[in-house]
Amino acid sequence: MYVVIMAGGSGTRFWPLSRTKTPKQLMSVFGGKSMLQRTVERVLPLNPKRIMIVTNVEQAAETGRQLAEYRQCPLDIVAEPVGRNTAPAIALAAAIIGHHDPAATMLVLPADHYIRNEAEFCRVATVAAEAAAGGVLITLGIEPTRPETGYGYIETAPATAGSAAQPVKRFVEKPDLVKALEFLEAGNFYWNSGMFIWTVAAIQKELALQMPELAAALGVLEFADDSWQLDTLKPQIEAVYPLLKGESIDYGVMERAAAVNVIPANFGWSDVGSWSALPEVITADDDGNVAVNTDGLIAIDAKDSLVYGNGKLTALIGVEQLIVVDTPDALLVCHNNRAQDVKKVVEKLQQQGLKGYL
């Protein structure tokens, strides 16, 4: 199995901690290791043949720095010169892996997701890899634990006897609460996790069908030899990438492919989409408060609040549902239900040309 980690995101919803050069996946969201490092560590028990990180040129140096310590497994870093969403990134990874190992199976993972139960993750990934061996595209479907309106869903048909894989009936956009409750009740709806397993042959066949321009553009890549020296690819990627159309793998392939199966997963997953998701993944104290990277939290009649600190003693008095993020040059105080609006701050900074804060 090869693992492809999609690490090119430049999310703005974790500002001021996340910046252009240190986006969420390179951040130590939980203190300690970054989300990318945790993602790499999570797959090591699967003994992958190689791990490929697809990042972008701005983050490549920091990505390499963070991954220098993982020498147990060969690790390739491929840098996109411009972001083109997930389909080109996956197609590029498939092209490179396919050249070196045409019989490869690819596990595709976002670099910035949280998974609580890592052993269960490995078990599910192994089951999914077996299901993918037959040539079907597999996506991991998270069993819903609440009527979440922030995720897309996948509706499935019953699995055939003896298989864990459930055929996809349809992909569903983020629902309203009424629909989300119906989905939760129905039992055959899963959160669309953005984690996939397939053989390189299967995804390349499907790319050729659904996204022929993309497949053709990457088909011209010339490899120096069969070693994993990828240096000669760099100028070719820089030449071809800006010409590609940006597209997600969901829209470009998964929603149109004939045979997509879901492997249900229940390993405590979160896409950690904004600051308000952190209390989902970090255990709060009895008052519902979470303090990361503070030199102590003194809470007086304060509850359900998150402090992401900068090493300081922090005191909260008479506040609820706050997000407080302190960094060396910027400070954010935000109501928990407004976490999506953090990106508006980033937009304002962009408008004002305050690049130092981006």
Residues that bind a second copy (CB under 8 A): 15-16, 294-296, 298, 300-301, 307, 309-310, 312-319, 322, 324, 326-335, 337-338, 341-342, 344-345, 348-349, 354, 357
Select 119 or 331, whichever has its Cβ closest to a second copy. 331
Reported as type and span, the H/E element at residue 132 is helix 118-132
Q: 185 or 295, CB closer to a second copy?
A: 295
What minimum distance in Å lies between the beta carbon of 59 and a second copy?
Answer: 22
Distance CA 235, CA 123 (A): 39
Closer CB to a second copy, 139 or 289, in the complex: 289
Q: Which CB atom, from 233 or from 323, has the smaller least distance to a second copy?
A: 323
In the complex, the smallest distance separating the C-beta of residue 87 from a second copy, rounded to whole angstroms, is: 33
Show the beta-strand stretches assigned E in 189-255: 189-199
Cβ-based nearer residue to a second copy, 228 or 357: 357
CB of 28 to a second copy, least distance (A): 19
Please say which residue, 56 or 294, places its beta carbon nearer to a second copy: 294
Checking phi first, is residue 346 left (phi over 0); if not, alpha (psi -120 to 50) or beta?
alpha
> Please, what is the minimum distance in Å from the beta carbon of residue 284 to a second copy?
17
Burial of 10 (0-12, 13-18, 19+ CB in 10 A): middle
Q: How far is the CB of 15 from a second copy (least distance, A)?
A: 8
**3-state SS record for 84-109:** CCHHHHHHHHHHHHHHHCCCCEEEEE
Residues forming beta bridges with residue 138, ordered by sequence position: 197, 261
Nearer Cβ to a second copy (159/358): 358
Q: State in angstroms the smallest separation of the CB of 353 from a second copy.
A: 12
Q: Coil, strand or helix: which one is 82?
A: coil
- HSE at residue 271, side-chain half, CA atoms within 13 A, is 18
Whole-number Å distance between alpha carbons of 159 and 138? 13
CA distances from 306 to 1, 137, 149, 282, 354 (A): 38, 39, 22, 10, 26
Shortest distance, position 299 Cβ to a second copy, whole Å: 10
Please identify, using beta-carbon distances, which residue of 31 and 296 lies nearer to a second copy.
296
Question: Cα(160)–Cα(155) distance, rounded to whole angstroms?
Answer: 16
* Cα–Cα distance, 166 to 144 (Å, whole number): 16
| Shortest distance in whole angstroms from residue 337 CB to a second copy | 7
* Minimum distance from residue 264 beta carbon to a second copy (Å): 36
Give the whole-angstrom CA distance, residue 128 versus residue 253: 18
With a CB cutoff of 8 Å and minimum separation 6, the contacts of 355 are none
Nearest residue (CB) to a second copy, 128 versus 316:
316
Q: Which residues have C-beta within 8 Å of that of residue 239, sequence separation ≥ 6? A: none
